[in-house]
Amino acid sequence: MIRKLLVANRGEIARRIFRTCDQLGIATVAVYSHADRDAPHVREAREAIYIGPAESRDSYLRIEKILEAVRRTGADAIHPGYGFLAETADFAEACEARGLIFVGPRADAIRAMASKIEARKIAKRAGVPVVPSEGFPLLVKAAAGGGGKGMRRVDRAEDLESARAEAAREAEAAFGDGTLLIERYLERARHIEVQIFGDLHGNVVHLFERECSVQRRHQKIIEESPAPNLSPDVRGALCEAALRIAREIGYSSAGTVEFLVTPAGEFFFLEVNTRIQVEHPVTEMVLGFDLVRMQIEVAEGRALPALELEPRGHAIEARLYAEDPANGFLPSTGKILAWRAPQGVRVESGIERETEVGIHYDPLLAKIIAHANSRAKAIRKLRWALERTLVHGVTMNREFLTRVLDHPDFAAGSVHTDFAITYERDRSAEAVAKTALDAYRDARRQATRAVLPHVPSGYRNNPFQPAPPRAQVISCDEGHIRVEIDGAQYSFDVSEDASRHWIGDFSFARESRYPSEEGAASEESASSPMPGKVLRILVEPNGEVQPGDPLVILEAMKMEQTVRAHAAGIVDAVLVKPGQVVAPGETLVHVRSKGESK
Amino acid sequence: MVDTGSETYRANYAWMTREIDRLRAELKRSTEGGGAKYNERHKARGKLLPRERIEALLDEGSYFLEIAPLAGIGMEGEVPGAGIIGGIGLVENRECLIIANEATAKGGATGEPGLIKNARLADVARENRLPTILLVEAAGADLPQQSKVFVPGGRGFREITRRSKLRIPTISVVFGPSTAGGAYLPGMSDYVVMVRKRASVYLAGPPLVKMATGETADEESLGGAEMHSRVSGLSDFLADSELDGLRIAREIVSHFNLPKPTVEMAPVEEPLYPAEELLGIASADPRVPFEAREIIARIVDGSRFTEFKAQYGTTLVTGFAHVHGFPVGILANNGVLMSESAAKGAQFIALANQQNIPLLFLQNITGFMVGRSYEEQGIIRNGAKLINAVSNSTVPAITIMIGGSYGAGNYAMCGRAYDPRFLFTWPNHRIAVMGPQQLAGVMDIVKREGAARQGMAVDEEQLTSQKKALEDQITRESDPYFATARVWDDGIIDPRDTRTVLAISLSAALNRTVEGTMEWGVFRH
């Protein structure tokens, strides 16, 4: 029996594992990096141990620091979550060696599947077809990888080398292993995976499939179960193939066997993920049980019960990311200013108000999972939930997700991994938000004004410029406004930080009414503060200077006076010579700011 | 109750609406500076128009109550706003008086109306203890008018330093030339901000220097912002641009330590009756009286008015109310002033002083009652009581002329000569020693009596035409535009804005501690 479990992870998955532990009565230990000192997962664990700086390789990826945290807290089990050390065989092995319970598969299973090359061999042995490795287009990917990192599509032979080089660099950086795997890129294929589960007594079951075809940059964003429009024959064959592979390696704990399924119904083995998946909640929702609990119980040695499984209804998950869909899905960072999870659906989140979303970790903000008795109803529910989700402080992909849900191909269940929508910000909605923001700022300024808050905003007895049209404010409190614009009412949540205002789905840069002070110093020259004699000149023409650098030393009033640079720049000209007597205000050195031309 | 369907209401409303249109047209003209051509030239030099400078200086969403925007209108050598824009607005949440030279009109040179307006603005700053921000770009005196402006013009500089002594700071932001006498605007100020490559401040420009001493010097070396910031020390802050200068001015204000005195405030409530109805209530014809309480009900918080001595001296309504939460004691004419109403007014003013309550005068007065029995009852004696009280009262007073302002009624109801802190008028307002027909009629009688004494026959035709001419002259001189041109008031306002204008005025006035007096001149009982 496990008494105390350490989660070697962070964010939503750490919180989700702690929740199950709380239900089981297992004490919990969180680990955290410098960046996560105030993260929700840290506060929710009974104990929390610092494991190093923000960079993953110095904290969450450091096996010895995790083991040290185990020693300090007396934890008897480790759950690795997903990512980080979840599929590092050495970690599982180190745990096993110390007599710790590793809530995951055995180290040898991890090792066997860690290399995609090795995994292909096992699949072949198990009689499962693998993706052919010849012909174009090709997909170059990291053998050790996951999450789309180190992945490149190559359409022409001449591009192969550069793609290999790039992918290898990325793989090396992300996984510490630049080994690549090259497979045919199967066009219009669907990504379908089968959840498998094994115990330590040789029992293996499958828990049906998940469809994960909607991806961006090879990263899943919407997952569902069951897969739509999948014939019972193909579904049965997929599940059977997954079981064969699981048996081949004697798999224990939760895992996922991924396949590509062509429009013709052919399927090919892709890889095995030897961990709990990000998208495991959709399986939980249709089956009605807790996969993490099963993981823990199996790790404790319990045999899998005889399960009569029948998926009920349809579950669909959307991943809310801090990223900008209008700008190549670039990750967005910042402090969460407002966060409101929708009601009536399952939400797994790693954020709260004030959480910093930084550059060091996956930008996943939350997973939102809807379950209903049909696919159409689940989609409708998820869409409703997304519309009611509020995140301010970072740019997110929420609108993008709802557009995917609205897409006829998605509704028809006919999407594949090449599915992409062209996304542009909704300009008319943006204009409404801007109008509402102006009204909000105005109303708040009025309400908080110390002097005459009830005098109409911008009152003029002699108007000079026409007053800008304002939305009709129905109600306005801090952080919220309801307005009427062009005969329609809208409610918005509003947040602000030092640089931006956030309203509804949009954010707008704060505009300064005055030029910035930084710009002001750009054309500074150095001049003498008082009458004196030049003692020494410390710079030469074309030399680079930083603010505060000494330029000239004067002798004045029997004292040495150092004249320093006001701003960074290049010395354009030195206008004085040593020994020269200078007048107050006389320019001594011309410094040109770097951007400025001569 | 006001019958908004009545003939009178509708006629008044229609008339007032036309008058407001005229007011708006005149005001619009006052904002156009030197006209499109000069404005464009000004902007082409990369400069902000004076009104743009004010907008950029004010807090976002701040009000701006312009003082005497139509000064000089219709007068000889008229320039919009008499060449100056001045008003009260918020800078860093602090009430400030902002004065900008109308640089596009005659280069911002000051004539006689400008001088009068400047003097009035200096009063506003001193009386209400308002920090002052001068947005300077001025050619100095209007040289052809020098005989009118040179000698009295000195006052402006004197006022800046007297305010300084009273701890009422002045900031000058110099955007352009500020030369000769104008150089003393920054010279006398407590804080000086000069805009790089724009400001030029010197006693004598290059031509005059060449004439006087033979020295050749350019504008920048004679009085540029760099020179004054690095060498002469006249400038305290060197701004990179106009906007930067305004930003610096705001920053300076943010460091002031001048806490506003407090008064007991009530929760702010809108009146129960719409301000719109003021347009139909106020009479188009100054000879037709209207109910003062209907005006009060559309100005004060919650339309709540605690009337004092309601049954006594009924031609003067007195009582307590709040405007935007500020306490006020109101005196409003409701007919001709009688002995009782005058005495009641004096008593009420004394009460307001005892309680440090600001006063609001709603002036609509044809004068004191005349006639033998009224003289016998001591109408002069009682009127003198009221004038004594108004003269010696030390609580801030604000006067709104909502109708006629004739005769000694103007004095007793705190006309300009009695130094109310602010005085605004409605478009239906008329001001003169008496009504035009009355005055012409009096002169007619005087002439006839004179002729009779000398035994001369009257030339009826001549007398009629003289009477007509005089009546026309007085009508013209009683006009609100004639008055506002001479800064007899602080501006004509849309009656619907009365509550707002009053609130801004009251709040400004309360920057100086209210200290009501208990000392009065000898009352003649």
CA angle B73, B71, B92 (to 5 degrees): 140
- Residues on chain A touching B501 (C-beta within 8 angstroms): 461
For residue A586, how far is the Cα from the chain centroid?
Answer: 55
User: What is the strand order of the sheet A77-79 is part of?
Assistant: A47-52, A27-33, A4-7, A77-79, A101-102
Could you say which of A62, A190, A216, A275 is catalytic?
A275
Place of tokens 């239900």: A23
Residue B13's identity, in one-letter code, is Y
A455·B95 Cβ contact <8 A: no
Within an 8 Å CB–CB cutoff, is residue A511 touching chain B?
no
B66·A465 Cβ contact <8 A: no
Closest-approach residue (CA) in chain B for A521: B240
Q: How far apart are CA A478 and CA B166, in angstroms?
A: 40
Q: A480: distance to nearest CA of chain B, Å?
A: 19
Q: How far apart are CA A530 and CA B398, in angstroms?
A: 53
- Residues on chain A touching B84 (C-beta within 8 angstroms): none
Q: Identify the DSSP state of B259.
A: P
Q: How far apart are CA A368 and CA B493, in angstroms?
A: 59
Closest-approach residue (CA) in chain B for A456: B63
CB within 8 A of B460, min separation 6: which ones?
none
Q: How far apart are CA B430 and CA B120, in angstroms?
A: 21
Which residue in the set A457, A458, A584 is minimally distant from B231, CB to CB?
A584
The secondary structure element, H or E, covering residue A527 is: strand A525-527
Q: B500: distance to nearest CA of chain A, Å?
A: 6
The pLDDT value given to residue A370: 98
Nearest alpha-carbon partner for B70 in B61, B60, B79:
B79
- A47-52 and A27-33 strand pairing: parallel
- Residues on chain A touching B226 (C-beta within 8 angstroms): 585
With a cut of 70, list the residues of chain A below it in pLDDT. Answer: 145-149, 517-524, 556-559, 593-598
The pLDDT value given to residue A598: 38
Residue A30's identity, in one-letter code, is A
B61·A445 Cβ contact <8 A: yes
pLDDT one-digit tens code per residue, B456-484: 888 899 999 999 999 999 999 999 999 99
Q: For residues A373-386, b (16+ Cβ closer than 10 Å) or e, as one string?
A: eebeebbebbbebb
B504·A462 Cβ contact <8 A: no
B246·A451 Cβ contact <8 A: no
Judge whether A216 counts as a catalytic residue.
Answer: no
Q: Identify the DSSP state of A464.
A: S
- Whether A45 and A119 have beta carbons less than 8 Å apart is answered as no
B51·A514 Cβ contact <8 A: no
Judged by CB atoms within 8 Å, which residues 570-589 of A form the interface with B? 584-585
Closest-approach residue (CA) in chain B for A584: B231
Q: Identify the DSSP state of B135.
A: E
The strand pairing partners of A571, in sequence order, are: A591
CA angle B129, B130, B132 (to 5 degrees): 130
CA angle A474, A476, A480 (to 5 degrees): 115
Task: Write down all domains in chain A, each with its CATH number in brackets.
Answer: 4-103 (3.40.50.20), 134-185 (3.30.1490.20), 188-411 (3.30.470.20), 427-449+470-509 (no CATH), 522-592 (2.40.50.100)
Place of tokens 């998946």: A277
Nearest alpha-carbon partner for A113 in A219, A254, A257:
A257
Place of tokens 């100005």: B299
Query: Reduced to 3 states, what is the DSSP secondary structure of residue A530?
Result: coil
- Residues on chain A touching B56 (C-beta within 8 angstroms): 513-514
Residue B493 tokens read as 């306002």
Q: A30: distance to nearest CA of chain B, Å?
A: 47
Mutation for testing the A interface, residue in B64, B227, B301 having most A CBs under 10 Å: B64
- Residues on chain A touching B507 (C-beta within 8 angstroms): 451-452
| CATH fold label, B47-254 | 2-enoyl-CoA Hydratase; Chain A, domain 1 (3.90.226)
The pLDDT value given to residue B146: 80
Place of tokens 């009709």: A472
Q: For residues B125-147, b (16+ Cβ closer than 10 Å) or e, as one string?
A: bbbbbbbbbbbbbbbbbbeebee
Q: B62: distance to nearest CA of chain A, Å?
A: 5
Task: Calculate the alpha carbon distances from A402 to A322, A370, A379, B205 in Å.
Answer: 15, 13, 10, 69
Q: B261: distance to nearest CA of chain A, Å?
A: 12
Residue B356 tokens read as 């440090």
Closest-approach residue (CA) in chain B for A531: B231
The pLDDT value given to residue B505: 98
Query: Reduced to 3 states, what is the DSSP secondary structure of residue A61?
Result: coil
Residue B249 tokens read as 């001015």
Domain residue spans in chain B? 1-30+265-429+492-525, 47-254, 434-478
Strands (E), B267-314: 306-308
Mean pLDDT of B241-261: 97
A446·B61 Cβ contact <8 A: yes
- B132-138 and B170-178 strand pairing: parallel
Which residue in the set A442, A514, A515 is minimally distant from B61, CB to CB?
A442
Judged against a pLDDT cut of 70, whether residue B42 lies above it is answered with yes
Residue A304 tokens read as 């899998």
The pLDDT value given to residue B257: 97
- What dotted CATH number matches B1-30+265-429+492-525? 3.90.226.10
Work out the burial of residue A558: count CB atoms within 10 Å of its CB; fewer than 13 is exposed, 13-18 middle, 19 or more buried: exposed
For residue A510, how far is the Cα from the chain centroid?
Answer: 25
The pLDDT value given to residue A179: 85
Helices (H), A335-426: 375-387, 398-406, 408-411
The secondary structure element, H or E, covering residue B470 is: helix B460-478
Q: How far apart are CA A168 and CA A141, in angstroms?
A: 8
For residue A414, how far is the Cα from the chain centroid?
Answer: 27
Within an 8 Å CB–CB cutoff, is residue A412 touching chain B?
no
The pLDDT value given to residue A526: 77
Mutation for testing the B interface, residue in A455, A501, A516, A524 having most B CBs under 10 Å: A455
Q: A451: distance to nearest CA of chain B, Å?
A: 7
Within an 8 Å CB–CB cutoff, is residue A74 touching chain B?
no
Mutation for testing the A interface, residue in B39, B43, B52, B63 having most A CBs under 10 Å: B63
The strand pairing partners of A223, in sequence order, are: A317
3-state helix, strand, coil in chain A (%, to 5): 30, 30, 40
The secondary structure element, H or E, covering residue B150 is: helix B146-165
The secondary structure element, H or E, covering residue A297 is: helix A291-299
Strands (E), B22-148: 64-66, 84-91, 94-101, 132-138
Strands (E), A217-298: 219-225, 253-261, 267-273
- Residues on chain B touching A455 (C-beta within 8 angstroms): 63, 324, 500, 503-504
Residue A560 tokens read as 């040495």
B64·A460 Cβ contact <8 A: yes
B243·A514 Cβ contact <8 A: yes
A462·B30 Cβ contact <8 A: yes
- Residues on chain B touching A514 (C-beta within 8 angstroms): 56, 243-244, 246-247
- Whether B212 and B204 have beta carbons less than 8 Å apart is answered as yes
- Whether B71 and B111 have beta carbons less than 8 Å apart is answered as no
The secondary structure element, H or E, covering residue A554 is: strand A550-556
pLDDT one-digit tens code per residue, B492-522: 999 999 999 999 999 999 999 999 999 999 9
Task: Calculate the alpha carbon distances from B313 to A305, B331, B345, B383 in Å.
Answer: 101, 12, 9, 13
Mean pLDDT of B399-409: 94
- Whether A383 and A406 have beta carbons less than 8 Å apart is answered as yes
Within an 8 Å CB–CB cutoff, is residue B291 touching chain A?
no
The strand pairing partners of A320, in sequence order, are: A366
ipTM of the complex: 0.94
Mutation for testing the B interface, residue in A440, A441, A461, A512 having most B CBs under 10 Å: A461
pLDDT one-digit tens code per residue, B188-212: 999 999 999 999 999 888 888 888 8
Q: Which of A504-518, B25-39, B171-185 comes out lowest in average pLDDT?
A: A504-518
Residue B6's identity, in one-letter code, is S
Which residue in the set B93, B226, B500 is minimally distant from A451, CB to CB?
B93
Closest-approach residue (CA) in chain B for A444: B61
Q: B239: distance to nearest CA of chain A, Å?
A: 9
Nearest alpha-carbon partner for B364 in B299, B326, B415:
B415
Query: Reduced to 3 states, what is the DSSP secondary structure of residue A202?
Result: coil
Q: Identify the DSSP state of A512.
A: P
Task: Calculate the alpha carbon distances from A329 to A151, A213, A322 in Å.
Answer: 16, 17, 9
Cβ contacts of B36-43, under 8 Å, gap ≥ 24: B38/B104, B38/B105, B39/B104, B41/B104, B42/B103, B42/B104
Nearest alpha-carbon partner for B507 in B319, B262, B339:
B262
Task: Calculate the alpha carbon distances from B471 to A210, A432, B289 in Å.
Answer: 97, 59, 21
Mutation for testing the A interface, residue in B247, B262, B326 having most A CBs under 10 Å: B247
Q: How far apart are CA A226 and CA A316, in angstroms?
A: 9
A462·B501 Cβ contact <8 A: no
Q: How far apart are CA B172 and CA B111, in angstroms?
A: 21
User: What is the strand order of the sheet A138-142 is part of?
Assistant: A152-154, A138-142, A180-184
A449·B61 Cβ contact <8 A: yes
In chain B, the percentage of residues whose pLDDT exceeds 90 is: 79
What is the biggest distance separating any 2 CA atoms in chain B, rounded to whole angstroms?
Answer: 82
Q: How far apart are CA A26 and CA A21, in angstroms?
A: 5
Residue A91's identity, in one-letter code, is F
Query: Reduced to 3 states, what is the DSSP secondary structure of residue A478?
Result: coil
